[in-house]
Amino acid sequence: MRVFSKMATALLTENYLLQRDTQWPCKGSHILAQYDDNSVVVYQAYNPEIASYAVENQRFGGPKFSFQRMSWVKTNFLWMMYRCGWASKANQQRVLAVWLKRSAFDNILSQAYTPKEQKKAELEEIFVRLQWDPDHNPHGEKEERRAIQLGLRGEVLQKYATEWIHKIEDVTAFVHEQKRILDSEKIENLITAKETVYPVTNPKTAQLIGVDI
């Protein structure tokens, strides 16, 4: 039986076990994401000051947000939950879902490099840092599948924060609701963001980032 969240959110959601068992690959490097023709959802977790500014202004900025530091985005809801402890860690108490322009997301992927591929002198010229990390299940245990995260800096971060966003929503209430379900040992009722494998259609980009096709 499909279970729906009581918390209103613009995210499309689906039963976790249904997605795990019928829709997600078990291994390999894949971009799991919620997307349509115009946008891709990415997640970030921040302290209340940064999150409130972002939601109120529908862009990032304000006195607490730094454009000088690298800012990491994740496409995978459960990887974000692992990273922020279901919105419980310091400075990660608020989880934001960011609807990013799909053309901008593809642009970001086309510029993504891992540090080991670059000479030290070249690193300062890289505006998108790529990491493939072990994905995690709702309990925080590692999966064989790997999840992507992208570090943005410089002009790419500036454009992401101020130009490329369709919408920002605070989904912390939804996160807390699902954590309560998980803690009650009713994982069959757990729902997460509906995600499928994102198609990287540009062969050069696919080779650059090392995604499994």
Positive or negative: CA dihedral 133, 134, 135, 137: negative
Coil, strand or helix: which one is 122? Answer: helix
The confidence score (pLDDT) of residue 2 equals 44
The confidence score (pLDDT) of residue 4 equals 56
pTM equals 0.93
How many CB atoms neighbour CB 114 within 10 A? Answer: 14
Coil, strand or helix: which one is 114? Answer: coil
The confidence score (pLDDT) of residue 34 equals 98
pLDDT means over runs of 10, the chain (213 residues): 65 98 97 98 98 98 96 98 98 98 98 71 76 97 97 97 98 98 96 98 96 92
The confidence score (pLDDT) of residue 121 equals 41
Which secondary-structure segment (H or E) carries 43? strand 39-46
Sequence-separated (6 or more) residues with CB below 8 Å from residue 71: 44, 60, 151, 152, 153, 157, 160, 161
Of residues 54, 66, 36, the one with CA closest to residue 97: 54
Task: Kindly give the residue spans of alpha helices, DSSP state H, lying in the chain.
Answer: 16-22, 48-57, 77-84, 102-110, 154-162, 172-183, 203-209
